[in-house]
Structure 1
Amino acid sequence: MSDVQQRIDTLVKGHKVVLFMKGTAQFPQCGFSGRAIQILKACGVSDLVTVNVLEDEGIRQGIKEYANWPTIPQLYVNGEFVGGSDIMMEMYQSGELQQELAK
């Protein structure tokens, strides 16, 4: 496992809720990342860790390989890859995301 993959793995497994996104929770730098933050806020997530992929090219590329998922944002809950913004919205609307976050 490369250094970048190791760093990602440590982040994902070390926190309950991790969102790899463009920008920060306060200042999302793409619409999808902004929507992901709004969904998590609507779910009442308080212990969210965000990683700004724009600050680290290694992480930006590495996260795509880590989950074998081509786009950002990426949500991880309890060490498991949940999905991107569209999947988060679908799961939120069905109540599935709230159940996942409650585990």
Structure 2
Amino acid sequence: MDEVQEAIKKQVESHPVILFMKGTPQFPQCGFSMKASQALAGCEAEFAYVNVLEDERIRQGIKEFGNWPTIPQLYINGELVGGCDIILEMFESGDLESMIQSAGAARNDA
């Protein structure tokens, strides 16, 4: 399991904004993942994603990595932001867009 945790850590540290989700932003495989990726798109965020359905070890490992029991999980600048409910609350308040801009991951920053 250590190699899985190391792989997750490398992914989180390699991307300013990364979403661990079920499916892809284009083809989400659960409603929560769809809402989370839509919130990021609504902030015009450049973000990486990991489809946890492709690897059961990652699917379980991400829950341990962030000590967070559900998927999706959003990381910005290496820190766990939270799951779907938190992402949506932050999107509605404008805090999510501010965090993305601070991370330099807004599309219009390029």
Give how far 1:87 is off: 0.2
Structure 2 CA distance for aligned equivalents of residues 38 and 98 of structure 1: 13
Q: Secondary structure at the match of 2:80?
A: strand
- The residue number in structure 2 matching 1:90 is 89
Structure 2 CA distance for aligned equivalents of residues 45 and 6 of structure 1: 25
Q: Tell me the matched-pair count.
A: 102
- The residue number in structure 2 matching 1:41 is 41
Q: Secondary structure at the match of 1:18?
A: strand
Counterpart code for 2:30: C
- The residue number in structure 1 matching 2:62 is 63
4+ runs deviating over 3 angstroms? none
Structure 1 gaps, min length 5: none
Structure 1 CA distance for aligned equivalents of residues 32 and 70 of structure 2: 10
Identity of aligned residues (%): 60
Correspondence 1:12 to 2:12: yes
User: 1:71-100 CA deviation, whole Å, 9 max, x = no partner?
Assistant: 000000111100011000111111111111
Structure 2 CA distance for aligned equivalents of residues 8 and 24 of structure 1: 17
Query: TM-score when scaled to structure 2?
Result: 0.90
- Cα RMSD for the two superposed structures: 0.9
- The residue number in structure 2 matching 1:29 is 29
Query: TM-score when scaled to structure 1?
Result: 0.96
User: 1:17-50 CA deviation, whole Å, 9 max, x = no partner?
Assistant: 100000011100000000011100000012x111
